[in-house]
Structure 1
Amino acid sequence: MGHSTQNKEAPPMSAVHHRYATVDGHRLFYREAGDPAAPTLLLLHGFPTSSHMFRRLVPALADRWHVIAPDHLGFGLSDAPGAEEFDYTFDGLTALTAGLLEQLGVDRYSIYVQDYGAPIGWRLALANPEAITAIITQSGNGYDAGFVESFWKPVWAYHSQQTPETEAAMREALSLEAIRWQYVTGVADESLVDPENWYHDHALVSRPGNDAVQLKLFLDYATNSPLYPRLHEYFRASRVRLLAVWGRGDEIFGPDGARAFADDLPDAEIHLLDGGHFLLESAFDEVTALIRDFLDRRVSMSGTAAP
Structure 2
Amino acid sequence: MKNKFIKIDDLSLFYREAGEHNEETILLLHGNPTSSHMYKELMGLLQDKYHVIAPDYPGYGFSDRPTTSEYEYSFENITNTVNQFIDALGLKNFYLFIQDYGGPVGFRIATKRPELIKGLIIQNANVYAEGFGEWAMEIGGYIQNNDLEKLSAYKKHLVTLEGLKEQYVTGAKDVSLIDPSSYYLDYAFLQRPGVEELFLTLFDNYGTNFEKYEEWQNYLKTHQPRTLVVWGTNDKFFSKPGGEAYTKDLKDVELHFFDGGHFMLEEYTPEVAQLIKKFISK
TM-score range, shorter chain: over 0.9
What is the root-mean-square deviation in Å for CA atoms of aligned residues? 1.5
8 Å CA contact retained: 1:83, 1:209: no
Describe the shift of the 1:160–1:18 C-alpha distance in structure 2 as closer, same or farther (beyond 3 A): farther
**Aligned partners of 2:93 and 2:231: how far apart in 1?**
25
Specify whether residues 241 and 167 from structure 1 end up closer, same or farther in structure 2 by C-alpha distance, changes over 3 A only.
same
Give, in angstroms, the shift of residue 102 of structure 1.
Answer: 0.6
Query: Match for residue 78 of structure 1?
Result: 63
> With structure 2 as the length reference, what TM-score do the two structures score?
0.96
2:47 alignment partner in structure 1: 62
The structure whose residues are more often helix, as a share, is 2
Q: Secondary structure at the match of 1:28?
A: strand
Corresponding residue number in structure 1 for 2:32: 47
8 A Cα contact 2:226 2:252, kept in partner: yes
Match of 1:138 in 2: 123
For normalisation by structure 1, the TM-score amounts to: 0.88
Q: Which of 248, 252, 275 is residue 237 of structure 2 equivalent to?
A: 252
Assess if the C-alpha contact under 8 Å between 1:37 and 1:66 holds in 2.
yes
Structure 1: runs of 5 or more not aligned: 1-15, 298-307
**Alpha-carbon distance in structure 2 between the residues aligned to 1:78 and 1:38:** 26
Q: CA deviation at 1:163?
A: 4.0
Aligned partners of 1:159 and 1:70: how far apart in 2?
A: 34
| Equivalent-residue separation in structure 1 for 2:149 and 2:240 (angstroms) | 33
Matches for 1:193-208 after TM superposition, within 5 Å: 193-208=178-193
Secondary structure of 1:211's counterpart equals helix
Match of 1:91 among 53, 61, 76: 76
- TM-aligned CA deviation for residue 224 of structure 1: 0.7
* AA in 2 matched with 1:20: F
Cα shift readout 1:28-55 (whole Å, capped 9, x = no counterpart): 0000011112221100000000000011
Distance in 2, matches of 1:285 and 1:141, equals 23
CA contact (8 A) 1:248 1:276 kept: yes
> Would you say the 8 A contact 2:45–2:270 is kept in 1?
no
| Residue in structure 2 matched with residue 275 of structure 1 by the alignment | 260
Residue deviations 1:154-205 (CA, integer Å, cap 9, x gap): 2563487584553232121111111101111111211111111111001112
| 1: CA distance, partners of 2:53 / 2:107 | 17
Distance in 1, Cα, partners of 2:81 & 2:136: 29
Partner in structure 2 of residue 179 of structure 1: 164
Identity over aligned pairs, percent = 39
Structure 2 unmatched runs, 5+: none
> Which shifted more, 255-264 or 201-210?
201-210
The answer to whether the Cα contact below 8 Å between 1:21 and 1:28 also exists between their aligned partners in 2 is yes
**What is the CA-CA distance between 1:275 and the residue it aligns to?**
1.1
Aligned length: 282
1:35: which partner in 2? 20
Of residues 205, 219, 225, the one that matches 1:240 is 225
Residues 103 and 212 from structure 1, CA distance in 2 versus in 1: closer, same or farther, beyond 3 angstroms?
same
The reply on whether 1:116 has 2:101 as its aligned counterpart is yes
